[in-house]
């Protein structure tokens, strides 16, 4: 009789330990996955802020620089292309992230060309609306960099957790997959040339 009770107690303890381990590991993966999703939403938020500023900036410049229609059209088209790529936390794959980054870099490039055009118009550079929009855009670009860095940090933490033993066995079993990172664009390792 005593042997049977000891065996039953041992089985119950093993089951409870296994349950506790699986529950803790699974819940940690869910929690970290949600942190990645939440941080991705914040990245989208700051990109949306930038996209919302662009029409105001283009309209302000349009009033001063009507002969620069090609540059203005390029900005509008780049914004439309960047906005057409819908990426959410459910479809964060390396290829989707790469396409998203390329579209956003195209928009950044178009905005840079627009700001170079502005240099030709001193009256525009002194326009209060333009200066405010430019300051907001610069602040938004800084926010984008910060949120991308935070996203990479939470994605790294999540990826490390689900790749560690024994969570890697459970992650595959429960369908948790690694998340891609934001990476620097091609050519970013070279310093820009400044000529006077």
Q: What is the pLDDT of residue 185?
A: 61
Question: Token pair for residue 108?
Answer: 């950044």
Tokens 């994605």 belong to residue: 155
Q: Which residue has the higher pLDDT, 42 or 119?
A: 42
The secondary structure of 146-164, three-state, reads: HHHHHHHHHHHHHHHHHHC
Kindly report the backbone phi and psi dihedral angles of residue 190, in degrees, each rounded to the nearest multiple of 5, phi listed first. -95, 135
Looking at residue 90, what DSSP letter applies? G
By residue count, the chain amounts to: 196
SS3 122: helix
> Pick from 125, 5, 14, 12: which is nearest to 65 by CA?
125
Whether residue 186 has pLDDT greater than 70: no
Count other C-beta atoms under 10 Å from residue 33's C-beta.
19
Q: What is the pLDDT of residue 31?
A: 92
Q: Could you tell me the sign of the dihedral formed by the alpha carbons of 84, 190, 146, 61, in that order?
A: negative
Stated pTM of the model: 0.71
pLDDT in tens, 36-62: 988 988 888 888 888 888 888 888 777
> What mean pLDDT, rounded, does the chain reach?
82
pLDDT in tens, 64-118: 666 677 777 888 888 888 888 887 777 788 888 888 888 888 888 888 888 887 7
DSSP string, 62-85: HHH-GGGHHHHHHHHHHHHHHHH-
pLDDT in tens, 120-176: 777 776 777 778 888 888 888 889 889 999 999 999 999 999 898 988 888 888 888
Count other C-beta atoms under 10 Å from residue 3's C-beta.
7
Whether residue 18 has pLDDT greater than 60: yes
Question: Token pair for residue 17?
Answer: 């330990």
Helices (H) and strands (E) in the chain, counts: 6, 0
Domains of the chain: which residue ranges? 48-174
């Amino acid at each position: 009789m005593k042997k049977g009770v000891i065996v039953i107690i041992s089985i119950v303890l093993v089951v409870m330990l296994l349950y506790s381990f699986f529950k803790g590991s699974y819940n940690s993966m869910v929690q970290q996955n949600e942190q990645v999703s939440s941080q991705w939403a914040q990245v989208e938020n700051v990109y949306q802020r930038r996209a919302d500023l662009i029409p105001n900036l283009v309209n302000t410049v349009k009033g001063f620089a009507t002969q620069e229609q090609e540059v203005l059209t390029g900005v509008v088209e780049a914004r439309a292309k960047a906005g057409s790529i819908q990426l959410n936390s459910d479809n964060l794959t390396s290829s989707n992230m790469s396409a998203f980054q390329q579209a956003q870099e195209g928009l950044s490039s178009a905005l840079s060309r627009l700001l170079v055009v502005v240099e030709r118009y001193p009256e525009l550079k002194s326009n209060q609306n333009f200066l405010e929009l430019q300051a907001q855009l610069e602040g938004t670009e800084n926010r984008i960099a910060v949120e991308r860095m935070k996203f990479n940090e939470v994605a790294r933490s999540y990826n490390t957790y689900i790749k560690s033993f024994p969570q890697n066995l459970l992650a595959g079993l429960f369908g948790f997959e690694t998340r891609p990172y934001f990476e620097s664009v091609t050519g970013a390792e070279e310093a820009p040339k400044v000529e006077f």
